[in-house]
Chains A and B, each alone.
Chain A
């Protein structure tokens, strides 16, 4: 699954640590999601989208 977390994060000038803190997950976990090494659950995916003020499909997409 592809995602635009890195782009959205850069637009807001947030560091990985900052976003991880907002999402209440480990920075390493966010890094794994960002690089496509791990897929978040639906609730976490929705939380990520909500944090960016975007829709889930705007953040995540199929390969």
Chain B
């Protein structure tokens, strides 16, 4: 696929718009109890997959140097995020601490343990990885801004 900054930006903006609009609709539907938890989670997964696919697809419009730099940033961002999430995960898994009980009740509205497992085992590492990638992207942007 030929390099096109315009197509890349369009595809990327489309993915973010889809993600934010989808999340807003899902939260609205769940809060109003129009959909149950199972359907909510299924739709959230479909939304995440769709947005991820569009984000990955947008890279077809980048040139090889940009693609390689993005791959490198993603790899190191994920590694850093994963490492950074370990202390938080350990703290989350420590049982019988007062503050933790409070936190669990804050995170888990229905006090169901599977929800905390989902957060600690999946969401937290993914969020930390996304944060790591975001930070590396920000650093690269700042660095290129300094050079300009």
Do A and B associate with each other? yes
Does B13 reach chain A (CB closer than 8 Å)? no
Does B144 reach chain A (CB closer than 8 Å)? yes
Near A by CB (< 8 A), chain B positions 67-123 give 68-69
Q: Is the interface of A mostly helix, strand, loop or mixed?
A: loop
Partner of A38 from the list B5, B62, B68, B144 (CB cut-off 8 Å) is B68
Cβ of A32 and Cβ of B3 under 8 Å apart?
Answer: no
Cβ of B144 and Cβ of A26 under 8 Å apart?
Answer: no
> Is the interface on chain B under 10, 10 to 19, 20 to 34, or 35 or more residues?
10 to 19
> Is the interface on chain A under 10, 10 to 19, 20 to 34, or 35 or more residues?
10 to 19
Q: Determine how close the nearest CB of chain A comes to the CB of B2; give it in whole angstroms.
A: 6
* Chain B residues within an 8 Å CB radius of A44: 64
Highest count of chain B CB atoms <10 Å: which of A24, A28, A33? A28
Q: Determine how close the nearest CB of chain B comes to the CB of A40; give it in whole angstroms.
A: 7
Cβ of B64 and Cβ of A26 under 8 Å apart?
Answer: no
Cβ of B68 and Cβ of A25 under 8 Å apart?
Answer: no
Does B66 reach chain A (CB closer than 8 Å)? yes
* Chain B residues within an 8 Å CB radius of A41: 64
* Chain A residues within an 8 Å CB radius of B2: 24
Does B30 reach chain A (CB closer than 8 Å)? no
Interface readout for A21-50 with B: 1 if CB under 8 Å, 0 if not?
000111011001100001011001000000
Cβ of B66 and Cβ of A28 under 8 Å apart?
Answer: yes
Q: Determine how close the nearest CB of chain A comes to the CB of B57; give it in whole angstroms.
A: 18
* Chain A residues within an 8 Å CB radius of B3: 24-26
A38 with B63, Cβ < 8 A, contacts A26-B3, A28-B144 known: no
